[in-house]
């Protein structure tokens, strides 16, 4: 899509459709726009039923108590967390289940990799349907189809079906709806026009992501070991369907379907492609860090401790995300993203330095510190995606971001594994540092273009 000569890599040109009811000036320069009147459909209130706010009275400060104040917000958040927890369970459960019964980690890895590739193709399509027809109408049948795929995989493994059936069954789970993106869309609807509350909401959602991806693998491994190999997949399927049903039942908080006229695809919106490339590089940081850390723990004879060590990185990110949501940075979003990615690049060098000592304890502390830069970076990037994505395509924009992250994770895992294989686990920690530096270069190019 042609841009004006002064359009920057982050999209300084006005959006075709101003998102969230903002005026077409640069959204990241808004200090604290006053929230519009509460919509009758959004909270189930008539426009005149709530107390009127004096124009000269400043809105209350952003905080988590005010975030959950709208009716239905705690309920859809609970359902969303239940539905999101299996995201960290399915791949680990599938690997344990397939490898334990078929005796092949290569087959298990190939099945999960195929599912990841199919998800990258299908997820944006599911999100496009959500934007067009609404969350409840699409998320429930999509989740039901994904659950059916998980149960089919379980039966194929249990009954000794041919290997190709495992690929087909796991590919069906690609219809799993992006509940994190839908939750962010609900917050944007409930607190539209309130930049401070949107920042708090995105910070909470990032912390929830970290919590689910930290607890999911641990829960899956425990269930598969304590009960039976298929227990993790079965539990994940039940949690997913239950959570989506609870989430979809909260119709009062569901954003209305926005008109699609003159709403370009997010991939054609100025600034979005460059952001997706940055998220691709950030995904490579996460994917390579996981593989390299497992290899390092294995070299030290503590393979079983790898999950706990990686959990510290997620814990650091989750804590930083909750703290980040309590403050509202004063700088604009593009510059803030540059600062956050620069901090991530510096902190990601700590595990590399700790690995040279050969101490798993020092590495654990380094990963805890390194993780603290993850959530602020992701929150800022997601907020920038939200600001630049047309309102009628918000779920699609959020899902494209997740797809970029998944692609980066896959590339980072492959790169990290190759370096570990040829140069050792310690040298492998150079891969996440390099990926973070690449994301920094992309962010710097965007900031430089904006300044020019």
Predicted local distance difference test score (pLDDT) of residue 392? 67
Which of residues 436 and 193 earns the better pLDDT score?
A: 436
List, for residues 11-32, the tens digit of each pLDDT value: 434 344 333 333 433 434 333 4
pLDDT value of position 12: 39
Assess whether pLDDT exceeds 50 at residue 39.
no
Q: Which of 130-139, 188-197, 322-331 has the lowest average pLDDT? A: 322-331
Comparing CA positions, the residue from 409, 393, 416, 435 lying closest to residue 132 is: 393
E strand or H helix at 288, and its extent? helix 272-299
> How many whole angstroms separate alpha carbon 452 and alpha carbon 8?
8
- Residue 55 pLDDT > 50: no
Q: What is the per-residue pLDDT for 303? A: 65
* Mean of pLDDT over the chain: 75
CATH of 263-452, one of 3.40.50.12640, 1.10.3720.10, 1.20.1250.20, 3.40.50.150: 1.20.1250.20
Helical (H) or strand (E) element with 238: helix 231-249
Q: What confidence score (pLDDT) does residue 304 get?
A: 64
Domain positions in the chain are 72-257, 263-452
Determine the pLDDT at residue 46: 36
Task: Tell me what pLDDT residue 330 has.
Answer: 61
Q: Please determine, for residue 50, whether its predicted confidence score (pLDDT) is greater than 60.
A: no
Tell me what pLDDT residue 11 has: 41
Instruction: For residues 349 and 165, give the distance between their C-alpha atoms in angstroms, rounded to a whole number.
Output: 43
Q: Give the residue, 187 or 243, on which the prediction is more confident.
A: 243
- Give pLDDT tens digits for 56-101: 344 444 567 777 877 878 888 888 888 888 887 787 788 778 877 8
> From CA 202, how far away is CA 381, in angstroms rounded?
10
Report the greatest alpha carbon distance in the chain: 70
Q: Higher pLDDT residue, 166 or 402? A: 166
pLDDT at 452 over 60: no
Segment 372-390 mean pLDDT: 81
Give the C-alpha separation, 200 to 76, whole Å: 17
Say if residue 240's pLDDT is above 80: yes
Distance CA 230, CA 382 (A): 35
Which one has a higher pLDDT value, 34 or 266?
Answer: 266
CB neighbours (10 Å) of residue 307? 16
Segment 105-124, tens digit of pLDDT: 677 777 877 787 788 788 87
- Residue 328's CB: how many other CB atoms inside 10 A? 15
Strands (E), 263-312: none
**For 172, left (φ over 0), alpha (ψ -120 to 50), or beta?**
alpha
Whether residue 34 contacts residue 9, with contact meaning beta carbons closer than 8 Å, is answered with no
On whether the CB atoms of residues 288 and 420 are closer than 8 A, the answer is no
Top mean pLDDT of 40-44, 218-222, 366-370, 444-448 is at: 366-370
447 and 338 in contact (C-beta within 8 Å)? yes
pLDDT for 37 equals: 37
Is pLDDT of 226 > 90? no
Beta-carbon contacts of 105 under 8 Å, excluding residues fewer than 6 positions away, are 95, 99
pLDDT of residue 403: 78
394-432 pLDDT tens trace: 667 777 787 788 778 777 877 887 888 788 888 889 999
C-beta separation of 412 from 286 below 8 A: yes
Q: What is the CATH number of domain 72-257?
A: 1.20.1250.20
pLDDT bin (cut points 50, 70, 90) of residue 360 is confident
């Amino acid at each position: 899509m042609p841009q004006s000569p002064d359009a920057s890599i982050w999209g300084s040109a006005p959006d075709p459709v101003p998102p969230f009811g903002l005026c077409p000036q640069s959204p990241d320069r808004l200090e604290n726009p006053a929230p519009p009147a509460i919509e009758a459909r959004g909270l189930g209130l008539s426009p005149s039923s709530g107390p009127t706010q004096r124009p000269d009275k400043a809105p209350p400060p952003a905080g988590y108590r005010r975030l959950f104040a709208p009716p239905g917000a705690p309920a859809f958040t609970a359902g969303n967390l239940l539905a999101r927890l299996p995201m960290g369970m399915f791949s680990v459960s599938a690997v344990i289940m397939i490898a334990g019964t078929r005796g092949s980690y290569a087959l298990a890895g190939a099945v999960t990799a195929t599912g990841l590739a199919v998800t990258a193709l299908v997820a944006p399509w599911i999100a496009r349907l959500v934007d067009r027809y609404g969350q409840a109408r699409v998320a429930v049948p999509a989740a039901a189809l994904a659950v059916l795929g998980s149960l089919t995989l379980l039966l194929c493994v249990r009954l000794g079906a041919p290997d190709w059936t495992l690929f087909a069954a796991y590919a069906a789970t690609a219809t799993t709806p992006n509940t994190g993106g839908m939750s962010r869309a609900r917050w944007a609807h409930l607190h539209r026009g309130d930049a401070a509350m949107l920042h708090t909401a995105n910070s909470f959602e990032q912390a929830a992501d970290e919590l689910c991806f930290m607890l999911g693998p641990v829960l899956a491994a425990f269930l598969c070991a304590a009960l039976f190999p298929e227990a993790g997949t079965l539990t994940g399927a039940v949690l997913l369907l239950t959570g989506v049903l609870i989430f979809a039942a909260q119709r009062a908080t569901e954003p209305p379907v926005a008109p699609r006229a003159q709403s370009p695809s997010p991939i054609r919106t100025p600034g979005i492609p460059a952001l997706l490339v940055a998220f691709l590089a950030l995904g490579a940081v996460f994917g390579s860090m996981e593989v390299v850390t497992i290899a390092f723990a294995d070299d030290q004879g503590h393979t079983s401790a790898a999950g706990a060590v990686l959990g510290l990185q997620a814990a650091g990110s989750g804590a930083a995300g909750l703290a980040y949501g309590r403050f509202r940075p004063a700088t604009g979003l593009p510059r803030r993203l540059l600062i956050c990615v620069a901090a991530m690049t510096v902190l990601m060098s700590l595990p590399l330095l700790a690995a040279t000592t050969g101490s798993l304890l020092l590495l654990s502390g380094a990963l805890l510190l390194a993780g603290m830069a993850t959530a602020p970076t992701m929150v800022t990037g997601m907020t920038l995606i939200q600001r630049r994505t047309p309102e009628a395509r918000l779920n699609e924009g959020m899902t494209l971001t997740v797809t970029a992250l998944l692609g980066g994770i896959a590339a980072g895992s492959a790169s990290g594994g190759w370096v570990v294989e040829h140069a050792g686990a310690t040298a492998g920690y150079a891969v996440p540092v390099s990926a973070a530096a690449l994301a920094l270069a992309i962010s710097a190019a965007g900031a430089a273009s904006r300044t020019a």
